[in-house]
Amino acid sequence: MIEEMQNAKCEMRSGAASRPGARLRRVDSFRIPHSAFRIAPRPRGVPSSFILHPSSFSSAFTLFEVILALMLLGLLTGAVYSITSAAGEASRATMSEQAAVRRVEAFIKVTRGAFLNLPRNGRIQLRFSKFPSGAPVPEVIFEEAPGVFGVPSLGGGSLILAARPRADGSRTMSLLLVPRDLASEELERLKSGNSWIPLLPRVERVKWSFFANGEWKDEWPPEAGRPLTARLEMESLDMGGSIVDAQFWIPPLAAGSAAQSAPNPQPTPPPRTP
């Protein structure tokens, strides 16, 4: 464009000199308009992000900075996940232990009601049987006791409260309704079946004892009569191995029997941790 303007200047000089009578003008300078230096517009279809500017190179991150930022982000994410996971595990463990405490309290409440509601002609006995694996199973038998454990009528039969072994080595406090005049073979078949009602799972070291005549006894045959107090000791695995010690007062048959010394007929203390 500059060359074209210079050529136009020369042509103006030659044309002025060739015309007769024309006055020659001296052109001292030639100014180039500013419009000649305008930047060409961006072509259509080309995004502005494709046009590189010198200032864009100074604000970019290096590869080392990007890798370092990713490493810090990964460390922070791992720390947050660990804290959240630990808090969730603690919360689940607390809720599980609280549920186990409520199950134990409900079982003790139902069992206490069974002893308190024992009718006048009701009988209690403690018997030990053997599981097919050979493990001894303590069984508390309620005879002639309709209404205990929420059973309105036994039909002349009996109820067995036993700590049955489980596959994982623990025991489950279960209840079985035994019909009247059942043969021994049929009774064993019934006890080995699935007619048991589970009441409290995952317990160990179950021990029953009965108080009468001023002492605790680990055996209570049918001819022993009615004890004053029954005691249940066991270990709850769902409560972290806490020992449960519950005592159940049994109403005496006659008014004169109440004068006997019964061991502290107070409410059962809460489960304690050894």
Q: What angle do CA 167, 206, 119 make, to 5 degrees?
A: 115
pLDDT of residue 134: 73
User: Taking the model in full, what pTM does it have?
Assistant: 0.64
Q: Return per-residue pLDDT of the chain as tens, 274 residues.
A: 555 555 555 555 555 444 544 444 454 444 555 555 555 566 666 555 555 555 544 568 899 999 999 999 999 999 999 898 888 888 888 898 899 999 999 999 999 999 998 988 889 999 998 877 777 899 999 998 888 888 877 777 899 999 999 988 899 999 999 998 888 889 888 988 889 999 999 999 999 999 998 999 999 998 888 999 999 999 999 988 999 999 999 998 765 444 344 455 444 554 554 4
pLDDT of residue 114: 93
Tally the domains of the chain: 1
pLDDT of residue 152: 79
Q: What angle do CA 113, 114, 118 make, to 5 degrees?
A: 115
pLDDT of residue 58: 56
Q: Is residue 155 part of a domain?
A: yes
Q: Is residue 258 part of a domain?
A: no
**What is the b/e burial string over 225-253, where b = at least 16 CB atoms within 10 angstroms of the residue's CB?**
ebbbbbbbebbbbbbeebebebbbbbeee
Q: Is residue 74 part of a domain?
A: no
Contact 138, 163 (CB under 8 A): yes
**Residue range of the domain that includes 179:** 99-253
- For residue 18, count CB atoms less than 10 angstroms from its CB and return exposed for 0-12, middle for 13-18, buried for 19 or more: exposed
Q: Is residue 239 part of a domain?
A: yes
Contact 199, 234 (CB under 8 A): no
Q: Is residue 27 part of a domain?
A: no
Q: Is residue 262 part of a domain?
A: no
pLDDT of residue 228: 92
Q: What does the DSSP 8-state code read for residue 20?
A: T
Q: Which residues contact 183 (CB under 8 A, 6 or more apart)?
A: none
pLDDT of residue 258: 40
Q: Is residue 148 part of a domain?
A: yes
Q: Is residue 160 part of a domain?
A: yes
